[in-house]
Each structure stands twice: as C-alpha cells, then as structure tokens.
Structure 1
Amino acid sequence: MKNDSTDRIAADLRTWIASAPPGAQLPSNRSLMAKYGASPVTVQKAVRSLAASGLVDSRPGAGTFVRTVRTSRPVDYGWQTAALGTLSSRFTSLSATQRTAAPDAIGLHSGYPAPELLPERLVRAALVRASRTSTALTRSPAAGLPELQGWFANELADATPAGVTPPTARDVTVLSGSQSGLSSIFRAVIGPGQPLLVESPTYWGAILAAAQAGVQLVPIPAGPKGPDPVDLARAFDQTGARAFYAQPTYANPTGTQWPVERALAVLATVRRHGAFLIEDDWAHDLAIDTEPHPVAAHDEDGHVLYLRSLTKSVSPALRIAAVIARGPVRDRILADRAAESMYVSGLLQAAALDVVTQPGWRTHLRGFRRQLRARRDLLTNALREHVPDAHIERPPLGGLHLWARLPDGTDVEQLARNCETRGVIIAPGNEWFPAEPSGPYIRLNYSGPDPDRFNEAARIIGETLKENH
C-alpha cells in the first residue's frame, strides 16, 4: 500500500512539473500529506524519487523547486585563435603510438613492452625499499644521485676500449626519461633556428622535441648500415650544422645497428667538422641478435652526447635516463634541466638504481632477450603468411618494432583507421620522417601484449590492405 501511494504521489507531481515553469516551488510536504492522506515518510520518498530523476532541487529551509533546465549550446573558443597564433609544430595531437586502445583490441602501435616482460618483482621490491630511505623525503642533487651517476658512467666505461679515457660520474646528468634530455640538448646546444642533422627515418619524439625547440631538421638517409659518412660530411658542409642526432644501436623504427667500422667513420666525420654526435641509446638493453656497441665508448674529446634510458627495460613508470656529456656542454645541459624541472625524484632514482644493481637484473635481461626474439619471429612469420606484400628489409637486430614497407600508393593513415575499426591498432610510419616519407611504412610493436593474437592481427592487416587497393 505504501509503495502504491508513493508511486501515485510521484506520478501526480511529475504531471504537475511538466506544465510548471522552471523554478516553481512544489507544494509543501504538509500540503501533500493532507491532499493524499499519506504519511510523512511516503511523501518524502515520492519527493526523493523526483530529485533522483533530476526533476527537482531540494533546498534546506526553503523548499523543493522545479529544476531549471540549462540549454546546452556550443562554446565559442574562437578567441583562442588570435591568442595562440600560428602553429609552431606539425604535431597538434598525440602520436599514434600514445593512443589508448580498446580493451579487446590488438595493440601493435605502442612504443613500450608489455608489463609481463618487465622485472615486476624487482621493481615492486625496489620501490618499497626506496620509500623507507631518506630519498622519500628529500630532494636529490640537480645532476642526480651520485650512486646512480656512477652506475651510468661505469656502464659506458665497461665498453670503453683501452687507450680511451672513460667517463666519470661527474659527466652524468640524470633525467626523467630521455625525451626530456633531447629537449634540453636541442634547446641548450643547438638553439632555435639552427640546423640539426638527423637520420631519416628517425624517432618521432626527437622530431617533436626539435620542433618545439625551433630547431631546423636536415634529414640524412639511413640505410641498413646507417648513414653514409660521405652524405653526412656533405650535409655538414652545406648547412654548417653543429650536431647530428642518431640512434646507432637498434634504431627506432628500423631496428638497424651500425657496424663498428661505420660508427667510427661517422664519429671521425663529426670530429672533423667540430660538431657533436647526439647518440640516443634508448634500446641498449633490448638486444636480440647482437650486442650493443655505443659510439660514445670511442669518444676521446667530448664530441658525443650520450643518452641512455632505463624506461623500456625497467619500467615506464620510473622514467629514469641519463645524458653523459663532457666539457662545458655538460654544464649547459645541466643548467637547462635545472631550469626545466629543478631535479629528478630521488625516490624514483633510488628505485631504479636498486633494480639494476640486484643479482636478478642480469637474469631478467637474458630472459627479456629470449622473449623479444620469440615475439619478433612470431610476428614476422605471421606477416609473411598473411601480408605477403609487406616488405621487411631485414629482421631488427634489437629493439621492439618491425618496420614494414607496403606497396606504393598505400594510404597508411587510412589503412590504420580501417584496421582500428576491425580491432587492430597499428602506427602509420609517416611520423618517423622529418620530411616527406620515402614510402608507405607501418611500425608494429612485437613486444606488446597478446602475442597469441599476432596471427589474427596479421590476417586483419592483410585483408584490410587488399580492400584498400
């Protein structure tokens, strides 16, 4: 009986509200009790049901009123056009690699390994231990924790041949990810309006950082053995550039590694022109078929600015990297970093150092290498079967990605959109070119989740490619 009375009162009030103007006051509870012969509880329930439906607002001490309907209209943001001015970068949205995939989609677009490939136990334990130290409550030095500086310096020193002076801890500046290091180097060392030589294709994040710093990129073609030193020398002569940005070890996106002879020839060219080589060793820990050989290990007089990242091998949540630079250029980079972020979280630095100094770290890297090889080969074979028109010049020697050229005339942006509608997320290759793309490429991450679905993903890519042609 009580529920019927509540529903009847609520229904009558809904009819009354439908013809009442916004802001009209409902009859008082006392009036409703008298009209319907209902108890206070029944009336209160009826009114609460109207409030839950968004029809009324109750104001303590004032009464209950018909809710004012606010007409939705498009907001005019036109004023921002003048305030923002002309675009300073061609990147106006997130990279294709940063997109969030639907839970059931097959994600081949990301630039990170799947969590199950990372040293989860080591990372969790390290974070707990770091939280119990003074680093959890104090700021770290601007250049980084001395112990972590020493670890980065020793890693490069171990690769330094006899007769070459190895780096010291003082040469190291710890970074919150290598992307921030690139931004600082481009601002502090190159400068707005100045030319920077870069491999083509190259890391899209470096292209973005250069654009934001106002640096003018000069592409140098990079073949299966890296850039031709003759082409590099010609570009230095023509542009007067003071630096060359490159990824000699497992380049993103191609997976190429420079032979030692090519690396030494490039370094000699850089030295002869009184310039810097910005060596991005992002994939140092992602070896598959070869061992990493940093060019910086052969640098005797400060021509190489060496970036080393732990983000891909330890955890993207830690985002710890370092730049090793010797001479006045180190002070210039450090000053820029201090102005940008003051210092890197000591807690994260301590946790990263804990992970890489544990006995289990080397064990993790050996297992990581095996899993990367297995997933690379699994995706490569799936593409050969289902996308025979996709050409992979050679399997990547390390890193996380396959770089595949599609038939001429393929609209890779449209292909990516069509694949996404069928549940497969891929990265169009255009973002990796500092100028016009040299062909239609896609980049596929073989270290992502769901390797058991690689065959399904390749089948969908192949079918979609045929439909696009």
Structure 2
Amino acid sequence: AAAARAVRRPDAWAKPPLAGLAELRRWFADQTGGDVTAADALVVSGGQAALTHAFRALAAPGTPVLVETPTYPGALAAAKAAGLRATAVPVDASGVRPELLAEAFAVTGARVFFCQPTLHNPTGATLPPERRRQVLEVARAAGAFVIEDDYAHYLSEQPPPTLAAMDEHGTVVHVRSLTKILSPSMRVAAVIARGPAAHRLRAGQLVESFFVARPLQETALELVGSPAWRRHLAAVHAELRVRRDALAAALAARLPEEAEVHLLPAGGMHLWLRLPAGLDEDALVEAARRHGVLVSPGRMYYPSEPPGPRLRLTHAAAAHLAELDEGVRRLARAFQDLAHPDA
C-alpha cells in the first residue's frame, strides 16, 4: 500500500538528491538521536552496501581493522573485499570488552573498529551504557573510527542509545537499515557520518552506486510516516518474543544438556548455541541438513580460530511455531546420529 501511494507522488520517478531524499535523511537522523542532523545522513542501498562504503572510506588496503569475535560474516567479507585484515577482539555476555579493545588498538595500530553493540550477531549481546562510553573513549584515544552496525535497532523493544548519539567528536560512523524490520527487498539504509569521513563516504557512493532508486526511498517514507509503522513494530516485537521463548524452550527440552544457549537476547531473530566440546560442528550441520533443517555453522562467524563448536539458530524464518518445534526435533535427531553413527 505504501508503494502504491509512493509511485503516485510528484517526481516519484525523477532523479533524487544524490545523498538521498531530504525528508528521509531527516527521519534517519532523528531516529539515530543525539545532535545528528539530516546533513550527516547518506541514504544507501541496504546495510551491506553501507558496510562496504564504510570500510573502503575509512581504511587503506592492507591495514588492520578490529572486529568482535565472533562477528557478522558479511562484515568480514566486506572488510576482505576492501583489502583489510580483520583482527579479533573478544566479547562476553555484555558485548566487547573495552580493555581488550584498547590493547588491540595498541598492538595492531588499527584505526577502525567494527561492532554491533545492540543484539550482536550472532551472540545476541547488547552493550550496556557504561561500556558504550568506554568504547568511545578507547577509540578516541586511539584516533580511530567506530563503525556501529545498528542492524537490529528495530528488532528490540527498548534499544539503548546509539553510540552515534553519544559521540561528540565524529568518532562513530553509524549504519541503520530498514531491511531486517521490513523486507529483504527494502534495500534502504543510512550511513551517519561527520567531517572527512562523511566526504569520503559520499564520494564512494557516487562512484559505486550513484543513488538509491527514488521509488524505493518514497516507499520507505510513506511507510515510516504512517500509523502502520508503529503497529508493525509492535506486532513484530510481540512475535519475536514468542518465537525466541518457544525456540529456547524446545532446545532445552530436546537437545543434550551440554548444548547450551549463550544467552536469551532482548529481541533479534536468533539464538547462539554452544555445542558439547569435541563435537564435529560440520558433521552436525550436515546431519541436520539431511533431516531437513538448516542451521548456520559457528565457524563462519569467527575471523580466526573458533574456541569450540557453535551453531546460530534463526527462529524468524519458520512459518509458525509448530514448524519451529519440528525444526528442533529434527536437529535433535541430528545430534542422535552423531552420538550413535551405527544406529
């Protein structure tokens, strides 16, 4: 319905401003918080494109970039494509550890740190306010940028203030996308940046993709400005709670005790599962596939050697709760296959 209204707008098919529609940039700025303005926002074609632009704009090929470990594989791929060397910084149940981040900056000389402070992918951790302040202090002391991938902002009912909203020195390059909350084909995101970083990002956008299709930007504006937007957020949040709890309960009931959920995240679309030590992760993923259930192997989320076998389990793709429960039942059969290969 929003798309139908959008394409009837005057100039809907005309070339938009290269940085994005002013009204949409203003909306992204307001959503980010702090003293961010529309002039700080650049509309790009989805979060993955935003990461590609940011890595290429902020670091020279051959230089190191710090990332959480584990981390989003798409960020690792974007960093590699930009010729950067990913260096791992450990996380715990509350996110990245600031003291280890400071040590990594000192040892590597890196000038960029990529992170997902809200509903970290894959662990689900959310960085508390005090750690957020510490991360900004550490990065500023190192003369470095922080790329804040806020991909899950709308997948949490009460997300904390963004790093960008707390940033007073142009340290943070903030990425926010509408794709996860709306549709895979809603390739609309914003990069929030200031100073020289903003100029480099705009230059990169001009060369690589020119601008985001105006009908898509107009559709996004129609939707986020309508009463349906708030209703949609409330409905998604309620459904995600139900699915998270159902998946966690099914895993606890059906899987071996040694298979442990890392934490119960305050939103998001997945759970991070620690597997029994010594279990063959690849063999389990293949056994699960044979039983008709797809899971993400933990190894792909690590920039270096993983500490042990892990799985990421996504509950958002199931059609309904019965299908989610059936998926866990089939995963349990895969565990049994590995425990009793001759059965």
Cα RMSD (Å): 1.2
CA distance in 1, matches of 2:103, 2:226: 47
Q: Deviations over 1:128-157 (max 9, x none)?
A: 111112444211121111110010011123
Q: How does 1:22-421 map to 2 (within 5 A)?
A: 125-157=1-33, 160=34, 166-288=35-157, 290-388=158-256, 389-421=258-290
The separation in 2 between residues aligned to 1:291 and 1:230, in whole angstroms, is 24
User: 2 CA distance for matches of 1:219 and 1:281?
Assistant: 19
- In structure 2, distance between residues paired with 1:365 and 1:180: 24
CA distance in 1, matches of 2:167, 2:331: 44
Structure 1 unmatched runs, 5+: 1-124, 161-165
Deviation of 1:308 after TM superposition, in Å, equals 0.6
1:207 Cα deviation from its structure 2 partner: 0.5
TM-score (ref. length: structure 1):
0.70
Q: 2:337 aligns to what?
A: 467
Distance 1:228 1:314 in 2: 32
Deviation at 1:275, TM superposition (A): 0.8
> Which amino acid in the other structure matches residue 206 of structure 1?
A
Query: 1:360-407: per-residue Cα shift (whole Å, max 9, x none)?
Result: 211211121111000000011000011133211210122111100111
Aligned to 1:455: 325
- Residue of structure 2 in register with 1:93 after alignment: none
Task: Tell me if the contact between 1:135 and 1:347 (Cα under 8 Å) persists in the aligned partners.
Answer: no
Any conservation in 2 of the 1:242–1:274 contact (CA below 8 Å)?
A: yes
Which amino acid in structure 2 is aligned with residue 336 of structure 1?
A: G
Q: In the TM superposition, what whole-angstrom CA distance separates every residue of 1:209-243 from its partner, at most 9, and x where no partner exists?
A: 01111100110001111122111111111111111
Further displaced range: 358-367 or 218-227: 358-367
Secondary structure of the equivalent of 2:260? coil
* Cα distance in 2, alignment partners of residues 453 and 167 from structure 1: 43
Going from structure 1 to structure 2, the CA distance change for 1:135 and 1:283 (only over 3 Å counts) comes to: farther
Contact 2:58 2:145 in 1 (8 A): no
CA distance in structure 2 between the partners assigned to 1:394 and 1:447 by the alignment:
17
The question of 1:434 aligning with 2:303 is answered yes
The answer as to whether partners of 1:193 and 1:214 remain within 8 angstroms in 2 is yes
Provide TM-score, normalisation by structure 2.
Answer: 0.95
- Between the aligned residues of both structures, percent identity stands at 44
Q: Deviations over 1:58-110 (max 9, x none)?
A: xxxxxxxxxxxxxxxxxxxxxxxxxxxxxxxxxxxxxxxxxxxxxxxxxxxxx
The runs of 4+ residues in structure 1 deviating greater than 2 Å are 133-137, 290-293
Unaligned stretches of 5+ in structure 2?
none
In the other structure, the counterpart of 1:119 is: none
Q: Secondary structure at the match of 1:377?
A: helix
Distance 1:132 1:454 in 2: 40
Aligned residues: 337
Shift of 1:191: 2.0
- 3-state DSSP class of the match of 1:178? helix
- Largest Rg, 1 or 2: 1
Write the deviation string for residues 446-467 of structure 1: whole angstroms up to 9, x where unpaired. 1112321222211221121132
CA distance in 2, matches of 1:399, 1:208: 22
Any idea what SS the aligned residue of 2:16 has?
coil
- Residues 200 and 222, structure 1, Cα contact 8 Å, conserved in 2: yes
Q: By how many angstroms is 1:298 displaced?
A: 0.6
Contact 1:249/1:256 (8 A) holds in 2? yes
